[in-house]
Homo-oligomer: A and B are copies of this chain.
């Protein structure tokens, strides 16, 4: 049994808590929550403490707190013997106090309080300072999920940049689409099944293979007609992405012919 303490009371903490309870070989001994927030989303069977001084011995302490709180919190945990891991995608492991046995357990998923999720399918990205701790952390992670990845802080930073494109920027494309619909008095609902399909297609097919639209066809007539209808930032974005698509896939074609 791996003894685990969870620190946090937000979205991620609530989902981690549920996954920890379900895991047969984990002894989820305590949760630290400074306030009572979101308590309905946590199983009452796990003892909740309010103060750091009440922390008990554990093999692993999971910090499911805001990025900005990690460094300070870790300084108050210096006395702990167990492995202390943060759960952030964009924060380096070294931000944890150097007197600690340090690690990262980053669940690469976006969570919302209300929506239950199959944690077994959440990719967990792991990092530790040494092999011995990695063994412990991956034993824990394997109890929670079937998808385990090892990345150092530099790799996780690169993954984070990619995630900004894959999620934040794609969501902004949906936002632009919604705005264009609203301006034109068209229901955004029309586009929702297409958006769902785009997300589903990527699960099986490389996005390079499923790229469609006027840009990849180099259909300048349509592109120009579209640009006439756009202004401001949307026009700039349309121009830049169209330009990038044309270049990306032209280059591919060229390379293909050369090979």
**Max chain B C-beta neighbours (<10 A), residue from A162, A181, A203:** A162
Contact B241 A169 (CB under 8 A): yes
How far apart sit A170 and B175, CA to CA, in the bound complex (Å)? 11
Residue A168 is within 8 A (CB to CB) of chain B in the complex? yes
Within 8 A of B (CB), among A45-84: none
A174 adjacent to chain B (CB < 8 Å): yes
Contact check, A193 vs B121: say whether CB atoms are below 8 A apart: yes
Q: Is A164 an interface residue (CB 8 A)?
A: yes
A159 located at the interface, meaning its Cβ lies under 8 Å from any Cβ of chain B in the complex: yes
The reply to whether B198 and A200 contact each other, CB–CB distance below 8 Å, is no
Contact B173 A230 (CB under 8 A): no
CB-CB under 8 A for A166 and B149, given A237-B241, A240-B236:
no
Q: How far is the CB of A206 from chain B (nearest CB, A)?
A: 6
Interface positions, chain A 146-191, Cβ under 8 Å from B, are: 147, 149, 151, 155, 157-178, 180-181, 183-191
Residues A215 and B173 in contact in the complex (CB < 8 Å), given A196-B199, A237-B240: no
Cβ contact within 8 Å between B181 and A174:
no
Q: Name the distance in Å between A221's Cβ and chain B's nearest Cβ.
A: 10
What is the total number of copies of this protein in its complex? 2
Q: Which residue of B lies closest to A110 (CB)?
A: B197
Judged by a CB distance under 8 angstroms, whether A90 is at the interface is yes
Does B187 contact A165, Cβ atoms closer than 8 Å? Answer: no
**From residue A247, how far is it (CB to closest CB) to chain B in Å?**
6
- Find A207's partner among B123, B158, B178, B199 (CB 8 Å cutoff): B178
A229 and B171 within 8 A (CB): no
CB pair A165–B177 under 8 Å, yes or no, is: yes
Query: Is there contact, CB below 8 Å, between B170 and A173?
Result: yes
User: Is A125 part of the contact surface with B, judged by Cβ < 8 Å?
Assistant: yes
19 A-B residue pairs with CB within 8 Å: A110-B197, A110-B212, A123-B190, A123-B193, A159-B191, A160-B226, A162-B180, A164-B213, A166-B194, A172-B215, A172-B241, A172-B248, A175-B207, A175-B208, A178-B206, A196-B200, A233-B247, A233-B248, A237-B237
